[in-house]
Amino acid sequence: MSQSTDGDGAKAFAAIDLGASSGRVIRGVVGPGRLDVVEVHRFRNEPRFVREALRWDFAALEAGAREGLRLAGPVDGIGIDSWAVDYGLLDADGHLIDDPVHYRDARTDGVPEQVFKLISAQRLYELTGIQNQPFNTIHQLYATQQNAELKTAARILLIPDLLSWRLTGVAGTEVTNASTTGLFDTDARCWSREIFEALHLDSDLFAPLRGPGEPAGVARDFAAPVFTVGSHDTASAVAAVPADGESFGYISSGTWSLVGVELSAPIRTEASRAANFTNEIGVDGTVRYLRNVMGLWLLQECLREWGREGDLPALLGAAAQVPARRSLVDASDPVFLAPGGMPERIVAACQRSEQPVPRDHAEIVRCILDSLAEAYRTSLIEAAELSGRRIDAVHIVGGGALNELLCQLTADAVGLPVLAGPVEAAAIGNLLIQARAAGAIAGDLADLRALVARTQPVRRFEPSCG
């Protein structure tokens, strides 16, 4: 039964958006010319080191999502997106064997080198187009081949598909997230038999593939249909970039920063592989050609260490007074991947490169933000050169859009206008894909983006002169 709120054809939807540090449920009312969103619930996502591994607390994530759905009230659809690469293992009775292991766990240390002995890095890139990262699903699965958990598993579900299964009892694997695993053939748009055979993995452990906008069952406790969306949160976020035309770069800025351009086909040249760019499937068959940058994780970890999460505005104000580009670090250096001791690691990196050492919190924050802006600049330049795609403006979506200093530093570094917003881009993209599937709106990606541009606040930052 429709839960439309009025007679204009608009319908109500709930977007479950799971991030690496928090989850949220956003309720949206969507119709022709209308996109109203409100956050109804937010909850922390706090991994724990248990049973010899860093693990997500999946029961807490599910409880947070369910509470958000309860607070959202009656809706015409539910969609789920989350971070990529991680997964849960189900036994033959459909029970979760253990909490999913976190991608920052050390179990994949040295594993990529083992995988490359079975299938070369070059061949993997030719098949998948995926940036080599130690935490990619391919490396996680190979690292656990001999574990009892994997040997007894009857099903592998990526995180958003796992929550969808818990709500509906219907198993599937959504393709935008599948494309991040390092196991997916980007040409054939299916699992790569060659890779599974080389690593002696069983592709049948994954549930059938499904694309954004397909029905995914009914949430039994909420009497609402579940739709697949761009279940990799970046796929939904990029779908909500309020761009006009194709000549734009994007930065999906959160715990990670995903920096790139949108294409119609993957680029899997050796130059692209050497530059460590990734090709991930987007909404409506697009390709997200991007580079992963460590992102606001660097700042989040420093704030956690200092116990100053609530004092960020004051720190940013002080950081704005620090001389520009006094010290820079490689924001994608694996040395920053693990939690703990982030301020000390940033100081040590500056010492190793014989740069001025940050002396206080404000100087560390400025070093982080200058380093991110520089990483964005080089990533966008290389994305444009490798793809041939012109970039006239840069869109920052996600939590980083609230960081005015980072937005301005990015505009200055890139030398192009930066348009910041929407902040909840992943949830908005999630809602729009549901709404289109449910018939509340129609159109292609350009139409969805035009609706975002008309209804959501976006702030413009121009490059500073000199």
Q: What is the pLDDT of residues 24-39, one digit of tens each?
A: 999 999 999 999 999 9
Sequence-ordered alpha helix ranges (H) in 320-360: 342-352
Taking the C-alpha atoms of 335, 341, 347 and 348 in order, what is their torsion angle to the nearest 10 degrees? -50
pLDDT tops 80 at residue 280: yes
6 or 330, which is more confident:
330
Please give the average per-residue pLDDT across 85-100, as a whole number. 97
Reduced to 3 states, what is the DSSP secondary structure of residue 385? helix
Read off the tokens for 394: 């840069």
pLDDT tops 50 at residue 1: no
- What pLDDT is stored for residue 187 in this prediction? 87
The answer for residues whose C-beta is within 8 angstroms of residue 386's C-beta and 6 or more apart is 267, 269, 271, 272, 275, 277, 289
For the question of residue 233 being annotated catalytic, the response is: yes
- What pLDDT is stored for residue 96 in this prediction? 97
pLDDT tops 90 at residue 149: no
Computed on alpha carbons and rounded to an integer, the radius of gyration of the chain in Å comes to 21
Q: What confidence tens digit (pLDDT) does each residue in 187-234 have? A: 899 999 999 999 999 999 999 999 999 999 999 999 999 999 999 999
Please give the average per-residue pLDDT across 305-316, as a whole number. 87
Q: What confidence tens digit (pLDDT) does each residue in 151-191 have? A: 899 999 999 999 999 999 999 999 999 999 999 999 899 99
CA 198/CA 194 separation, integer angstroms: 6
Reduced to 3 states, what is the DSSP secondary structure of residue 443? coil
Annotated active-site residue in 233, 311, 392, 412: 233
Please give the average per-residue pLDDT across 441-450, as a whole number. 98
Rounded to the nearest integer, the mean pLDDT of the chain is: 95
pLDDT tops 70 at residue 5: no
Please give the average per-residue pLDDT across 240-252, as a whole number. 97
9 or 329, which is more confident:
329
- What pLDDT is stored for residue 303 in this prediction? 95
- pTM (two decimals): 0.94
Q: What confidence tens digit (pLDDT) does each residue in 43-57 have? A: 999 999 998 899 999
The residue assigned the tokens 């592709």 is 203
Q: What confidence tens digit (pLDDT) does each residue in 101-113 have? A: 999 999 999 999 9
- What pLDDT is stored for residue 395 in this prediction? 98
pLDDT tops 90 at residue 120: yes
- What pLDDT is stored for residue 171 in this prediction? 98
Please give the average per-residue pLDDT across 353-359, as a whole number. 96
